[in-house]
Amino acid sequence: HRGWAALRLGEVWEFRELLYFLVWREIKGRYRQMALGPLWIVLKPFITMVSDLIVVHALWCDPSTDAFLVPTEISRLRALHNRIPEHKIKVVGLPIRLTFDLPPEPKPVARARLGLPDRRTILLMGGGQGLGGIYEIAEAIGRSGLDAQLVVIAGRNKKLKEQLDAARWPMPVTAYGFIKEVHQVMDAADVLITKAGPTTICEAFTRSLPMIISGYIPSQEEDNAQYVIDNGAGVLAQRPDLIVDTLRQWLGDSALLDQLARNSGCLARPRAAITAAEEIYRVATSRPTVYRAPQREPLLARIDRFLGN
């Protein structure tokens, strides 16, 4: 072995731009899917938690991760497709507040706790910001003539809350701003209308709530809506009139509503946060798995060959 002397450092300096190119290409090839690049070497253990029900972007997938936690079986298959080793993938569910691990209250009890009449209850949500055409949907329901009451969580949208408080429709309407006790309001409801945010969907599963998905962020949330539909836990209705038609059908057919509720409850993972924490602890306290990159010709050997030695 000729060692470093064989490099002829004068020629290495002469071809320094080539050396830079080869070294940089080596780094990019090894760490091309890591947001922090080679810094991951010193950040072991490295654990990935997917926070979407279905979508697993290739950019999230680094085979060197010590554990890859996903919420559903479909996302597990997508992680496999994106080259995550099978033994590193674990389906844990989507972490949600531990209050959703509490058993649901009977609907009459939950309604009494909230000061609501004991009657069919429609819950309308638009996430923490109260987005997604909530007022238009609420108005269509409020004027629909359905024998029910409407509860709306406006989140941090103060203007929406004020509009709802000022509304005078035939149907009783109760509006909340941002609240943490969402599980109690869900306990009181028979149907949930929401956009396809993964957290709200998973919270609704724990309360066995049938869902009308009123909208989704294209690409990112579209598969979440399809997941609800494919599992018989709800439908997609993106116009207020279609939402009202669906409500009329469901509230008029108790057997259908009960079946939708059972299907929704079958998808619940109320202890997902605990399961994920336990898995993270297990990985963090065990010896991390070191990712071995595919064997390549050593960089110095390539330089040596290029220089004709």
Q: Is residue 152 scored above 90 in pLDDT? A: yes
72-86 average pLDDT score: 95
The whole-chain average pLDDT of the chain stands at 85
DSSP 252: T
Domains in the chain, CATH or no CATH each:
3-95+271-306 (no CATH), 98-265 (3.40.50.2000)
Distance CA 73, CA 93 (A): 9
Band (17; pLDDT cuts 50, 70, 90): confident
Amino acid (one-letter) located at 142 = G
List pLDDT tens digits, range 180-200: 899 999 999 999 999 999 999
Q: Is residue 287 scored above 70 in pLDDT? A: no
Start-to-end CA span in the chain (Å): 12
pTM for this structure?
0.77
Distance CA 260, CA 287 (A): 44
- Who wins on pLDDT, 299 or 203? 203
CA quadruple 270, 276, 279, 281: dihedral sign? negative
